[in-house]
Amino acid sequence: MSDKTLSIEYARELDRKDPLKQYREEFYIKPGTIYFDGNSLGLLSKRSEKSLLDMLESWKEFGIDGWLKGDHPWYYFSEKLGEKSAPLVGANPEEVIITGSTTVNLHQILSTFFKPEGKRTKILADELNFPSDIYAIKSQLRIQRLSPEEHLIQVKSRDGQTLLEEDIITSMTDEVAIAVLPSVLYRSGQILDMEKLTKAAHERGILIAFDLCHSIGSIPHALSDWDVDFAFWCTYKHLNGGPGAVGGLYVNKKHFKNADPGLAGWFSSKKEKQFDMEHDLTRASDAGSLQIGTPHLLSAAPLLGSLSMFEEAGMNQIREKSLKLTEYFMTLIDAELKKFNFTVANPRNEQQRGGHIFLEHEEAARICKALKANGVIPDYRSPNGIRLAPVALYNTFEEVWQVVQLLKKIMEEEEYKKFENKRDVVA
């Protein structure tokens, strides 16, 4: 490694060559702040702000007629956003709907398609998944009068950070009805091989669903080509939809014929029949059948603006820059922080690495607080994890360089000792 690679001039040269550099100007970035928490909550863009204000304007101008009038009639807004989101997950437009939330959509998938029968009564998950998914799975098992202790299989991690696909496949026994797995592990950022796992599941007669919260907007997907059964995700991380933004749901079209919603509601209806007010549901014939209630329009509107940037930039370019950012990050960490006992706990292999860096250190909570005191927004994960997410659309290589230099200063000058080594209420 040359001294040039470690210089700020090298970082600035990378930024000058960046084909996505113009998108940084689209976002509201607080002066004097380096925001590396876009894998928890993405920043507000000017386009998202405008699409939200446009939605408010349509309410102001049309009142209830906004359901069918204006540039973006509310009645079809969830489907419109689903169509715009479909390329990000590699799906057909009718297979995607923007609705609900991550957990609500998982509940809907399980209540609709988890049908324990005979010896196939178990759900396969993993021990590293985000707790909310496990809460939902256990809840659905209890609804079926099945004990989570007996009917939930959680694949163990060998190192506490990553999973082996072989271990997951070994757990796909003939007692498993459906598998629910993350596409990207929220702590370590490991990408699971979704195509391989889907093929293995189907060879064993198992349905499979993926939680895309930490992959959508960060890595390309090909759900339909991979023949994935179901997927669900939030839109407030890499997609920059805003806090509480409406979630997303994918259903492979081969399941449309069996998509009588387990949690039915008014918006599960076929559009042409919805206002007939019949007490027997005529459900939509596509992924829209898994909607439940009236769309949360003000929480969905920012996505319209945000998704336009993904359409323009393309996921391949976004992924390419993301990999360069994290590779550069690790290069600098190895060179500058080795003596301070940081461990790079995310995968180094490009095929397995998602959109963030995961550092472990026994003083992680204190270090995160010291970073924030110096204008850097990281993400702390108990007990000793620091997630740092340089986002392709608005972060720079120079910011990566600055954060590594700041970490070096915090450790050399022991700035972290000014803070308690425990998390805040919201980590």
Angle at 283 (CA atoms; ends 295, 70), nearest 5 degrees? 40
In the structure encoding, which two tokens stand for residue 283, read together?
A: 């459900």
First to last CA, the chain: 35
In the structure encoding, which two tokens stand for residue 259, read together?
A: 């998509």
Closest CA to 25 of 40, 13, 15: 15
Alpha helices in 17-94 (DSSP H): 46-62, 77-89
Residue 283 contacts residue 226 (beta carbons within 8 Å): no
Please state, in angstroms and as integers, the Cα–Cα distance from residue 15 to each residue in 33, 257, 318, following that order. Answer: 18, 49, 14
Annotated binding-site residue? 102 = yes
Annotated binding-site residue? 133 = yes
Question: CA-CA distance, 9 to 137, in Å (whole number)?
Answer: 50
Residues pairing with 357 in the sheet: 388
Closest CA to 37 of 370, 377, 381, 403: 377
Tokens 């992680």 belong to residue: 364
Question: CA-CA distance, 165 to 20, in Å (whole number)?
Answer: 33
3 state DSSP class of 249:
strand
Residue 103 contacts residue 132 (beta carbons within 8 Å): yes
Q: What is the dihedral of CA 132, 137, 141, 143, to 10 degrees?
A: 60
In the structure encoding, which two tokens stand for residue 224, read together?
A: 């339909």
Annotated binding-site residue? 131 = yes
Radius of gyration of the chain (CA): 22
Per the document, the length of the chain is 427
Annotated binding-site residue? 294 = yes
Annotated binding-site residue? 103 = yes
Q: Write the burial class of residue 9 (CB in 10 Å: 0-12 exposed, 13-18 middle, 19+ buried).
A: exposed
236 CB contacts (<8 Å, ≥6 apart)?
41, 42, 242, 243, 244, 245
In the structure encoding, which two tokens stand for residue 136, read together?
A: 């939902």
Instruction: Name the binding residues for pyridoxal 5'-phosphate.
Output: 102-103, 130-133, 211, 214, 236, 266, 294
Q: Name the binding residues.
A: 102-103, 130-133, 211, 214, 236, 266, 294
